[in-house]
A and B are shown apart, each in its own frame.
Chain A
Amino acid sequence: MSRRDRVADAPVMAKVGLTVNGQRRELDLDIRTSLLDAAREHLHLTGSKKGCDHGQCGACTMIVDGRRINACLTLAVMHQGSEITTIEGLGQPDNLHPMQAAFVKHDGYQCGYCTPGQICSGVAVLAEIEAGIPSHVTADLNAPIEVSAAEIRERMSGNICRCGAYSNIVEAMTAVAGRQA
């Protein structure tokens, strides 16, 4: 293919309707827009972070229709009608979600860049365990799954923290799980 053949056409636009943190949002997007960029660049919800844009780091984790996903690996137009919770929807500076408060108390972060993804993942992980969804380290598929450190570490391993707050994040999640129980 010559260079001339590859000249980009005008962007293909599409309308997409999402419910983001309880609010109905209508967007007219270039269909190449990732769900992450729809949030960050179009809705100015910048709490979800772009660490790699390749699904390798987890900083963009959002909860979509009840399941956590890497928002950089999915196009916004694939989520017509989806219910999306971002970090901004979990709690606000003066009204923290228990998981956010636990991260502050246990110092489960340092630079803060992976933190929204860790927290969204953390909330979803506890729900997954509660729902009986097994992981690689679940020993007994027929018994209720315990919120053990091993389960947390396994399930959280898609969320990289280069500052190395892992030990504290496990403590924060364990504390929240104990409160829920």
Chain B
Amino acid sequence: MHIAIIGNGISGITAARYIRKLSGHKITVISRETDFFFSRTALMYIYMGHMRFKDTKPYEDHFWEKNDINLIRGSVASIDFDSNTLHFEQDFICNDSVLSKAPSHLQYDRLILALGSSPNKFGWPGQDLQRVHGLYTMQDLMQMEKLSKDLERAVIVGGGLIGIEMAEMFHSRKIPVTMLVRESSFWDMVLPAEESAMVNQQIRIQDIDLRLDTELEEIVGNDQGQAVRVKTNHGDSIDCQYVGLTAGVHPNVQWLKDSPLDIDRGILVNEYLQTNLNGVYAIGDCAQLHAPDPGRKNIEAVWYTGRMMGETAAYTICGVPTEYHPGIWFNSAKFFDIEYQVYGNVPVDISDDHDSLFWQDDDRERSIRIVYSTDDQVVIGFNLMGVRFRQEVCEKWIRDHTPIAEVMRDLVLANFDPEFSPYYHRKLQEVYEQKTGKVIEPQLKPRRFDSVFKFLKKEV
């Protein structure tokens, strides 16, 4: 059986690796971006000089041939779903490939679409000018690099995770940055107010011109069609030579809209990640689940869901039908120097149904929040800023509907900070003691891995 995979990001590559682990099927992975899989989460570190491109490749180049995974560098122009044929763009030019040239067409028996995302554009005037870019692909990074020469100011539109990464990148080169954020506080559709304020502070500490409650009105170009200025909805005009569009991403499926594939915002898939067409699967950022699990969204453009989907699809294709159940939500990010981790459900507004225990340090550089439901006092989510918690422990507490009292008593189990770090969990326990008037009597010694292991093995 020949399995073709379009896209060599984390989803496509994980699928390829697991199909190889499970079978001897012929595998072909097609990418127009790079010859070999690299970690796009590390694009920012290449720009900042922390790593070289080659350091972002999780497997050495000889890995693919050794594992009999064929790689093609090329651009799929169209897919004939009736005859199971991929047609390649013939005038696709890339001068940096060491792979053999893409064929004109390719037959497959199973097809996996792992197409990734594209940056959102909301019909802003000037959004298609030169020097206006998102940050998703290697090509985006190279554009950003090229334009950084003599760059006097960059304007970043959108207050998401890519936006703050981009700000950090420019800042590392001492290039002045203005961020236009529509919301009244950074990422406040995801972060509760206190955490969001911590990020605002973090951005401003770095001398970045953060403009909240500000929307892009227009990008103004010069005679050469290059962006030179942006105008905001407050009438301000900001000169710049680079505009970063980071107001989220959408599935990269525009080119398939006229195909027989069932497409909404993304390619619609069932719990086996199968599309409406027989033998065609969609995974990663481009897939939209008909019926996501409770607490999960139908499109989740994050790294680990791509990995999980790749693995799940591989099992199904190799004869072990496997449903996609990503489990309890988690995610992480880094806002300049503050690490962020979330486990479970942390609503932006802690409503009547929920309550939360919250501690933050005096400098507003660290915080811990635990959300629980008011009626049965069961823990539902953890939000960490500048503090590391152990995912498996948090997840088990949530899954087992653990009462807040028990979590607070055993909070030390979640500690994942480096050895000798201060006991931040103790601060939250103090908050709990003040709030409830109860005194916590810890039963576990701090930082004992053995207790963690026992806890994780314990059946409820």
Are the chains A and B members of one assembly?
no
Q: Which residues of B contact A (CB under 8 A)?
A: none
Q: Which residues of A contact B (CB under 8 A)?
A: none
